[in-house]
Structure 1
Amino acid sequence: MSICMAGIDWKSANMDKREAFSFTGSQVEHLCRTIAQASGAAGCVLLSTCNRTELYLSGAGDLQPDALLCQAAQAEGAQTLFTVRRGRDAARHLMRVSCGLCSQILGEDQIVSQVKRAYAMAHEAHTTDAVLSQLFRLAATAGKKSRTQVRLSAAPLSVAGQAVALIEQKLGSLRGTRALVIGNGEMGRLASSLLAARGCQVTVTLRSYRHGQTIVPAGCRTIAYDERMSLVPQCDILLSATTSPHYTVTKSDLEGMEQIPYVVCDLSMPRDIDPDIRGLAGVSTFFDMDSMGGRDAHVNIEDRQQVEDIIAEQMQELERWDSYRRALPRMEELRALLSQRIAEDYALEQLTAGEQAETAEKMQAAARLAADKAAQWMLAGMQNQLDERALEACREAILRKAPQLRDRSMI
């Protein structure tokens, strides 16, 4: 299977190291094109989330995904941070990722949509091919099935859920507390909704508002992004979750304030909030992505096995597809050889002797077409049973009976 990947995640590196490999959507599309052109890979998909960055490549040759990603991200020398997988191991890893088995929050809900989005961005960049298309389609199917058929953990199934649970542990009841959530993307909206559901008074920042298009979580107030700092002194909780490449809150923003939030939570990669605010008086607790804890170890063995079975089923489908894809050229050549054999066995020229030239030509063409179609249908009917050894055996059987065709065979 002509697939390889290199990945860095929450297990292999802390935020300081992962930040260099965190990319926005537009950066992902640009890097896909850059890496595909530099490597000559047939396909290139880059998955970049809060807790992982993984590069998937397809194509012949000795591709080095770790070196290519480091070069594209201008982080040469960081290859040791990456785990490289090839072939079946690379494919199975993506399926495990899509099912949430590799997530910091085991079984998290967002990862399957992130896998789909990574493929969609690569498709927009025109860096996908049949191999990666099939792999990501089946990985998404595995992820969807695992969500609907199995619940791996009783713990929160999202980073936002885990963050709110940690905040609640720190503050006790959230009823009556006040929170400012910077960012109204998927993560920000989810965190806002979870806080509001616990009785917290939540205000969400908006960079712009479009009637009928901007989604504001139920029960939440809004404030313009540029006015965010005016509300900070009134809040117990400050949470930021944007895709901004720059800090949304710096240490200097908070210095000198009479009151600053008791709990600060940064759910972004790269960071939204200057980590140096940890040293400010008044900040009791600072959470970031590395504070979310590890995977839930208390998982029912049968539930985990059910997910592994789903992955195995999709892997079998991928391998059947790959085997058929690789056999197609040989099957096409075998079809042509079989059609030739039938045509020569029946001496079509003799069968049409005495007919007018035009009629004879049409009869011979029809007979060859019939022979060709018969060979095509026969091979198509056996496509899932014919491996390369079986195809080679078919070839030799035909040529033993018609050695005159051997020189014409390209198989």
Structure 2
Amino acid sequence: MQIKMIGIDHSKSPLQYREKVAFSTVRNIEFLNILKQEENILGGVVLSTCNRTEIWISYKDKLENEIDSILCKFKNINLYEYKKYFTYREDKEAIEHLFMVSSGLKSKILGEDQIITQVKNAVEISRESDFLNTTLDVLFRNAITASKKIKTQIKFKKGSFSVVDSVIKKLEKLNINVKDKSCLIIGNGEMGRLASEIFIKNGANVTMTLRQHHKGDVVIPVGVNIINFSDRVEVLPKFDIVISTTSTNRYMLKYEDVVKVKLKEKVVFIDLAVPRDIDEKIFSIKGTIGFNIDDFQIEENEINSFNETIERTKEILNEYIDNFYKWYYNKDLITNIFEISQKVADDTILRINKLVDDNTKNIVEKSSKKSIEKLIFCLRDNMKPRDFKNFMNILEKNYLNEDI
């Protein structure tokens, strides 16, 4: 099928390796432009989240350069060192993996909602970069549609999850009640807004940083206070909980800055960013407790409670996977279907040409064409690909290769 995927994720790679391969939106676009220059690569999508970076390509013939070497050169990292953390998938395995990822079945927090938006955003970046070919477009569209259907029709026994929900649960287990606590969120992107909403829902008093030049451009969740991003270190003494969620490549909180301010007696630092936002040396400051993204996941003893839900989820995924396969294996026949339907319509008009007026002829032509298309597409969706190709060969011989 000539679809490839290379990925690095939480199941195989430590955070310090994942963060070196993570992409911001700007770097995503830059990398897609690099891939565009590669001979035989027809399209690409880069999915970069807190827990994974995955690169998908559609190609023809043989690749001159493998994706892992292109990636490592772009990121200025050693291929030999990283190869053991990469996962390589092709064709059927790659396709089915994508559906599992977009539905949340591959997430650290099983069934999380956020992944659907992340997949949609990755596809949109490729589309805007003019690097989303038809095969990847149809593939990702089916995966996203399946995931939306799962979200609306299937409820996981413990509800829908995000990594922030897991943060709340972990704090509860440590007897840290967030109600009435002062919480600082560094970063106003999707993760920052989600963290704000969930902490407010749980009774916290939330303040979010906002860069001066972003004022008026960012939707701020109801009930959230705003401070200037540049004041983030200065205001730390006011807060019980500090959460950082940006997508930059440098620390938002440095040890040498934080150690100079007088923190509260007990402060929780939570770093949900990849690459990391908070210098982990800060976690050693007296009275502080710190976590990064790898500290949050579904409990192992809870997984069995999801078995029935997982099976129902896979049933929906398989339906849309089959839809993609039917489209892919027959995509070269679509033009012929339209040509055959037009030939049948022309044949019909010739037979009634002497009996009706021009207006009726037009109506009959359009109706017969649509009827034949509906019939052929119905057969395509209910036949094995090989049988359908044989069927189309018969029609082509009788309609496209002979004059009426």
The residue aligned with 1:270 is: 275
The residue aligned with 1:13 is: 13
The residue aligned with 1:29 is: 29
Match of residue 169, structure 1, among 173, 186, 210: 173
Are positions 1:323 and 2:329 aligned together? yes
Contact 1:109 1:158 (8 Å CA) reproduced: yes
Distance 2:143 2:14 in 1: 26
Q: What CA deviation, in whole Å up to 9, does each residue of 1:169-208 have, x standing for no partner? A: 3343223322211112221122122222333222211113
Q: What CA deviation, in whole Å up to 9, does each residue of 1:262-306 have, x standing for no partner? A: 2110011111111222222221x2111110034651333321111
Distance 2:4 2:326 in 1: 19
Contact 2:185 2:245 (8 Å CA) reproduced: yes
AA in 1 matched with 2:60: A
Are positions 1:92 and 2:104 aligned together? no
Are positions 1:253 and 2:257 aligned together? yes
Distance 1:74 1:58 in 2: 24
More divergent stretch after superposition (315-324 vs 158-167)? 158-167
In structure 2, the CA distance between the partners of 1:335 and 1:213, relative to structure 1 (3 Å rule), is closer
More divergent stretch after superposition (165-174 vs 245-254)? 165-174
The residue aligned with 1:196 is: 200
AA in 2 matched with 1:47: L
Mark the runs of 5 or more structure 1 residues left unpaired by the alignment.
Answer: 343-373, 407-411
AA in 2 matched with 1:69: L
Distance 1:10 1:74 in 2: 21
Structure 1 residue 6, shift from structure 2 partner: 1.1
Contact 2:336 2:396 (8 Å CA) reproduced: no
Alignment of 1:371-390 (within 5 A): 381-383=375-377, 384=380, 385=383, 387-388=385-386
Structure 1 residue 255, shift from structure 2 partner: 1.3
Structure 1 residue 387, shift from structure 2 partner: 4.3
Contact 2:330 2:389 (8 Å CA) reproduced: no
In structure 2, the CA distance between the partners of 1:210 and 1:294, relative to structure 1 (3 Å rule), is closer
Q: Which has the larger radius of gyration?
A: 1
Distance 2:263 2:101 in 1: 42
Instruction: Give me the TM-score of the superposition, normalised by structure 2.
Output: 0.81
The residue aligned with 1:123 is: 127
What is the RMSD of the two structures over their aligned residues, measured on CA atoms? 3.3
The residue aligned with 1:281 is: 286
Contact 1:327 1:387 (8 Å CA) reproduced: no
AA in 2 matched with 1:68: I
More divergent stretch after superposition (66-75 vs 130-139)? 66-75
Distance 2:229 2:69 in 1: 39
* Partner SS for 2:45: strand
More divergent stretch after superposition (76-85 vs 147-156)? 147-156
AA in 1 matched with 2:25: G
Distance 1:196 1:105 in 2: 21
Distance 1:375 1:234 in 2: 71
Distance 2:175 2:98 in 1: 38
Distance 2:235 2:185 in 1: 11
